[in-house]
Chain A
Amino acid sequence: MADLMLWGVLPYVVLVLFIGGAVWRYRYDQFGWTTRSSELYESRLLRIGSPLFHFGLLVVIIGHGVGLVVPRDWTRAAGVSDAAYHALALGLGAVAGVCTLAGVALLVWRRRTTGPVFSATTGNDKLMYAVLVLAIAAGLATTLVSTAAEFTGAHEPDYRTTVSVWWRSIWVLSPDVAAMAAAGAAFKVHALVGMALFAVFPFTRLVHAFSAPWFYLFRPYVVYRSRSGRTPPATRPAQRGWSR
């Protein structure tokens, strides 16, 4: 019963909160939709911590994508041995995870010790950081567990036959509760904290991630707008970001 609630119902509650919350906030709180950058107050620590955290996180996100989306049979069929796959995934995952954790640790420390940054920290930020740090720490713990299993040969179910199978089953609306129930404890904790992160995501400053401005690469440099609302043509042709 508990398994069904946790792995069969909760994911959908989180999805509704995540998507519905984001849409709701986008419609009603454009003004609050910002990074709320604190670089004006302090930049020495931010310049190390923020790129460390964000670039680490980018790799982590890509890693999650590959690990969860691509079934084991496919990589096997592509001629990648399980051992090679795990060595790569764990190696890269551990490095990226440690960078992310170190980055976020530096950011939290900066928030606590730099007077103006601390004054500008809201309760919402504190909650966000608690969930975020827990999610990263739990994620790193799963990497440790898997690595340990790899070296000691201890029996630990492969996440690619448990967590990933469950994750993919959510999207076809028939959650494979049993698969997730069979996963290791560390994975269960990580999945739960991860779901908490997604649930609060739209209601925190993290929404800035939705607005990653990739469109900047494609638009003309100078933007004109008309009072009447129609956009007048650009006076200079757009130039691609990579051509300069």
Chain B
Amino acid sequence: MGRVMAQVAMVMNLDKCIGCHTCSVTCKQAWTNRSGVEYAWFNNVETRPGQGYPRRWEDQERWRGGWTRTRGGRLTLRAGGRLKKLATLFANPLMPSIHDYYEPWTYDYGHLITAPLGDDIPVARPRSLLTGEPMQVTWSANWDDDLAGGPELAAQDPIVQQVGDRVRLEFEQTFMFYLPRICEHCLNPSCVASCPSGAMYKRAEDGIVLVDQDKCRGWRMCVTGCPYKKVYFNHKTGKAEKCTLCYPRIEVGMPTICSETCVGRLRYLGVVLYDAERVGEAAAVEDEKDLYPAQLDLLLDPDDPDVQEAARRDGIPDTWLASARRSPVYTLIKRHRVALPLHPEYRTMPMVWYIPPLSPVVEAVSGTGHDGEDADNLFGAIDTLRIPVEYLAELFTAGDPAPVERSLRTLAALRSHMRRVNLGQERDPSIAEAAGTTGEGLEELYRLLALAKYDDRYVIPTAYGVDDADRGVIEEIGCSLDFESGPGMGGMGAAHGRTPAPPFGEASGRPDPASVETFHALRTRQTSDAPADRADLKGRVNLLNWDGNGRPEGLFPPKEEP
């Protein structure tokens, strides 16, 4: 067995996404609420069919992201090899423009109170955040939200174009779902491979793909290298930024912000083990349809004693092994094979997987007056509703309908099986068999997908790798927030009792990094049941973190003594 590595991976259950964008907004609040990345959404939610964000990002004929297989069977960057990259450094011909995302804007609120008295009610006009000039808002990150059926918009969906015109009408009438997207934290990241300065890297311990902000020189090749268009160029700092999988939270065993705040509670986080030496080989299989099985094959069974031994040999601590065995992500991806990777044909081996939505099928069945929980009706509909299945197959399995059908049949069987259980009817083993599983398997899925308890959805071990003595017995975890004046070692950062205390009081010295402050405020709020009335907030109340309980001291300025 080759080198065993661990990866923190995510699964999203698309049936439950209501398209509320809470995940996008909370992510933005945490990570991209700054000028220079106004247009960037590390997490975005797209209506499918639709063009997505940035517009038509899936059109790799144009953007040339990801990898291709050469005729000789080797893997090469689709946009060209190293020499070509260097030769096009001065102006990158494949760089998306800000208009492919959208031009960020604000509103001229000041005008509302400064407008001279008159007959007309003053309005706040939109102004570009790039130039400060008044502008027309014509597009944004989710401009086509819920408009999947709109003929002009759906027609622009690269996948609709691939599946073909013949089906468009039928298709539009039956089918719409939401696709939340973050960086895939790929096993074979083409963004990393495209970075000429070597500033991007995959973390050896948990597989999180990051940009070293000090080493990035702004060559902007990663933006084009990523086929998912999930690296963004900060136009103020001239550096690339991307989803960090909320690593400061993951390191202390907390789920990412998008997961934590997800209204549908549809995200799962856990560890998978994989064979790092076979990644290149798996990504280079000839037939695109074999990429999903090849990727599945890379993931190692954490219950296998050989795998465990190899993992220990390669420095993976026992806590991580134990966590991998309980991983909901591994269960959904490999044990039940209901979760599928997004666009495996880009050959980056993405690590955010999706459970395809059964709801279009259920709706089609119940819409025609039939029983939408009857196994035979659902199985029959999966077989006859070619269009949604073909569309999903283009999205998740490079066009091979079989794995999508398998996943949908399992979800359909889950519905029928659990109805019988809930109605006190006898269990019918043929239902589970028809989906290639067992009654117990379906009930395990039911616990994960329907009950979806917090502790079952997120199984995240705390970080390791700072010290070899950590192995197996982590007493004190190192944390990436643990830098000079950071909050590690139990401190509260510069503003909160830092040792040694800053020379000229609380306000002196360098300010806390925003990430540190947010981290502590959130932790305090989430772990205390008292209102935000705490001495260590030093008399200040941050309204963003105030939970609305009570009347904390410091909410209002102190009364002046008469």
Q: Which positions in A face B, CB cutoff 8 Å?
A: 30-31, 33-43, 46-47, 49-51, 53-55, 115-116, 118-120, 208, 211, 213-217, 219, 221-228, 232, 235-236, 241-242, 244
Closest B residue to A30 by beta carbon equals: B214
A215 touches B214 (CB 8 A): no
Q: Which residues of chain B from 1 to 37 have a CB within 8 Å of any chain A CB? A: 2-3, 5
**Chain B interface residue number, banded:** 35 or more
Given A224-B203, A235-B279: A35 touches B95 (CB 8 Å cut-off): no
- CB-nearest residue of chain A to B216: A34
B132 to chain A, nearest CB (A): 7
CA gap between A55 and B92 in the complex, in Å: 14
CB within 8 Å of A: which B49-93 residues: 74, 76-77, 81-83, 85-86, 89-93
Are B192 and A217 closer than 8 Å at their CB atoms? no
Q: Which B residues form the contact surface with A (CB < 8 A)?
A: 2-3, 5, 74, 76-77, 81-83, 85-86, 89-93, 95-98, 128, 130-133, 188-189, 192-193, 195-198, 200-205, 213-220, 233, 235-239, 276-277, 279-280, 463, 465-467, 478, 480
- Asked whether, in the complex, the Cβ of B188 is within 8 Å of the Cβ of A227, the reply is no
Q: How far in angstroms is the closest Cβ of chain B from A142? A: 26
Q: Given A225-B201, A227-B478: A217 and B83 within 8 A (CB)?
A: yes
Partner of B218, one of A36, A53, A228: A36
CB-based contact B465/A226 at 8 Å:
yes
Indicate if the CB atoms of A40 and B82 lie closer than 8 Å: no
- A34 near B217 with CB under 8 A, answer yes
State whether B218 touches A241 (Cβ < 8 A).
no
With a cutoff of 8 Å between Cβ atoms, the chain A residues found around residue B90 in the complex are 50-51, 53-55
Contact B91 A47 (CB under 8 A): yes
Residues in chain A near residue B77, CB distance under 8 A: 221
Complex: how many Å from CA A216 to CA B98?
Answer: 27
List 20 A-B pairs, Cβ < 8 Å.
Answer: A31-B213, A31-B239, A35-B238, A40-B220, A40-B233, A41-B235, A116-B98, A213-B89, A213-B197, A217-B82, A217-B86, A221-B192, A223-B202, A225-B201, A225-B202, A226-B205, A226-B465, A228-B466, A235-B277, A235-B279
The answer to whether B198 touches A40 (Cβ under 8 A) is no
Chain B residue nearest to A44 in the complex (CB): B97
By a CB distance below 8 angstroms, the chain B residues around A47 are 91, 93
Describe A's contact surface by its main secondary structure.
loop
B203:A227 contact, CB within 8 angstroms = yes
Which 10 A/B pairs are nearest by Cβ-Cβ distance? A241-B82, A36-B238, A213-B196, A34-B218, A221-B193, A30-B214, A34-B238, A116-B130, A115-B131, A225-B201
- The complex places the Cα of A1 from the Cα of B236 at a distance, in Å, of 47
Given contacts A36-B238, A225-B203, 12 further A-B contacts (CB under 8 A): A34-B217, A43-B91, A43-B97, A115-B130, A211-B197, A224-B204, A225-B202, A226-B465, A227-B203, A235-B277, A235-B280, A241-B86
**Contact between A119 and B83 (Cβ–Cβ < 8 Å)?**
no
Max chain A CB contacts within 10 Å: which of B90, B193, B197, B237?
Answer: B90
Could you say which residues of chain A place their CB within 8 Å of the CB of B96? 40
Which residue among B5, B77, B195, B219 has the maximum number of chain A CB atoms within 10 Å of its CB? B219
Assess the A227–B480 pair: CB atoms within 8 A: yes
Tell me which residues across on chain A come within 8 A of B198, comparing CB atoms: 213, 215-216, 219, 223
The residue in B130, B188, B236, B279 that gathers the most chain A C-beta atoms within 10 A of its C-beta is: B130
Report chain B residues within 8 Å CB of A35.
217-219, 238
A46 in contact with B91 (CB, 8 Å): yes
- Give CA–CA (A54, B92) in the complex, Å: 13
Distance between Cα atoms of A41 and B466 in the complex (Å): 41
A-chain residues with CB within 8 Å of residue B131 when the two chains form the complex: 115-116, 118-119
Whole-angstrom CA separation of A214 from B463 in the bound complex: 34
Chain A residue nearest in CB terms to B39: A40
Q: Which residues of B contact A217 (CB under 8 A)?
A: 82-83, 86
Say how far B549's CB is from chain A's closest CB, in angstroms. 37
Which residues of chain A are within 8 angstroms of B200 by Cβ–Cβ distance? 223
